[in-house]
Amino acid sequence: MAKQISVFLENSSGRLAHVTRVLGDAGINIRALSIADTSDFGILRLIVNDPDHAYKILKDAGFTVSETEVIAVRMPDSPGGLADVLDQISEENINIEYLYAFLGFAGGDALVIFKVEDIKKAREVFEKKNINYVEAQDLYKL
Amino acid sequence: MTYWDQEKECMARDNLEKLQLRRLKETVFRSYAFVPAYRAKMDAAGIKPDDVNTLGDLQKLPFTTKQEMRDNYPFGLFAVPMSEVVRIHASSGTTGKPSVVGYTRKDVDTWADLMARALVSAGADKRSVIQVAYGYGLFTGGLGAHYGAERLGASVIPASGGNTQRQILLMQDFGSTHLACTPSYALFIAEVMHDMGIDPAGLKLKAGIFGAEPWSEQMRTEIENKLYIKAYDIYGLSEIMGPGVAIECPFRTGLHIAEDNFLVEIIDPVTEEVLPEGSLGELVITTLTKEAIPMIRYRTRDMTTLSNGECPCGRTHVRMQKVLGRSDDMLIVRGVNVFPSAIETVLLGIPGVEPHYMIILERQDNLDIMEVQVEVSEDIFSDEVRKLEDLHKRIAKELESNLLISVKVRLVEPKSIPRSEGKAVRVKDNRKI
Ligand SMILES: [Zn+2]
């Protein structure tokens, strides 16, 4: 399990630049990021090297921020790699709220961040099925 | 129950009405004799002071409007020579000239007395430490509350408005028990306190006396929960006197109007017809004791209802409900009357939504477009698009079903809506009509 930082953005690219600048100035490294965009607003989701610090920095800068539990899964970076994992998850009736990929992950594997409805259950399933998820402390270090 | 002036506040209705009639006749007589504008109006309406023999005869008299105050700028409506005037206040005119009011020594005295009455009604006494964070100056709020608190014998901190961190410091160090300011400023103080990491539970603050702008029940709850105080609504306007015209009692089922000093009516703002008790309409006030600038049937522009029912506090004076809005703040959007306060009420009814909003009006292709910007607080923020979209839809739906017009809702980042340190500005009307 890992902590994701979510940030509310009014629909403006200037605000995204501002978030990343604020984090950069505080020495925080962004490891993975996704933006869910609607015509009215955006939600920026981040995996960073120090989520608690990032949360505080962004909050102090006046952003609406939340911390969310997500799960990072390591899978072979080959055709069908993600499909195999998704199949196994759906067999167990785990609801996925959203997912996105990790940036530039070395070692020939891919890393995908999942937000699921029931994270405890997902973890049990992953263990049972031998799906390779990454512990938080390892993830932040990557 | 503690009163400041039990004899007047709990006077039997028939005695009160006798007192009102005597004072009304005197006011009409003096206005006719000493204010040319009143005399001209009454002559035009064919009314002489002697025609006023019952309280019902009040309805024969012409109304007085804010416009007339501007037309007689600055001292045209004064009924006493300037040598008798000891104080001048003025209300900021958003358009045109301000309206100017004067006070004789006795007026200042009556005002202090009514304000002390209000403070006692809100639980203050001579041991209280009252922090006055209304602006001092031409605005009546600061000095009005100040004189009342002194009259009561409380310790007054004349903090005036603004400099919020210092306000909080004063509360901590001087042990303020009562705060007098606008309700939006009280919320702002609570927010700054939160940002400074100060827990209001550690303060001596017990109650707030909030007025000078319309506010909702939800906003009251919000202030009370954030500052751990009891919030009382006080009503007043400079044209009539200033704060202290009406005040809530501990039962808070409306604001008791100081009827020994003011005669009130509710009218339809469009037809000017006097409405029966319990109707929503514009509050009209006639002053009964003002010397320097008596007001006959002054149209306050404030929309409210009156109720005469008995109050468990023992006060016999009529109660007005919280002001719903100003008849001239009332926005007309596609022909529908919209009060900003109604929007606030809807927003605050949705859990987690902060009362920070902005109304933007535009006109596109001869059609009014109303956008309501709502801040996304941490309480309502979600990392899931669907949840935020549901919230967005819910706000729009509830606004539409309450206001009966379509509303474009925009979720915005916190603090992107300017915070006010005085009266809140919540409407940006960009329509070019
Ligand atoms: Zn009462």
Q: In this complex, is the C-beta atom of B418 within 8 Å of any C-beta atom belonging to chain A?
A: no
**Single pTM value for the model:** 0.68
Chain A contact residues (CB < 8 Å to B): 4, 6, 8-10, 15, 36, 38, 40-41, 43, 45, 62-66, 68, 97-98, 115
Alpha carbon distance A130, A127 (integer Å): 5
Supply φ then ψ for residue B147, to 5 degrees. -65, -40
- Report whether pLDDT(B407) > 60: yes
Q: Compare B177 and A118 and report the one with higher pLDDT.
A: B177
Q: Is B222 helix (H, G, I), strand (E, B) or coil?
A: helix
Domains of chain B with CATH codes: 1-327 (3.40.50.12780), 331-429 (3.30.300.30)
Question: How does pLDDT run across B332-364, given as a tens digit for each residue?
Answer: 888 777 888 788 888 888 888 877 889 999 998
C-alpha B121 – ligand 1 centre gap (Å)? 9
* Structural domains of chain A, ranges and CATH numbers in brackets: 2-69 (3.30.2130.10), 70-141 (3.30.2130.10)
CA distance B136 to B242: 12
Q: How large is the average pLDDT for residues B153-177?
A: 96
| ipTM of the complex in this document | 0.84
CA distance B369 to chain A (A): 16
Predicted local distance difference test score (pLDDT) of residue B354:
77
Buried b (16+ CB within 10 A) or exposed e, B66-103: bebbbebbbbebbbbeeebbebebbbeeeeeebbbbbb
Which stretches of chain A score pLDDT less than 70?
A: 12, 103-107, 142
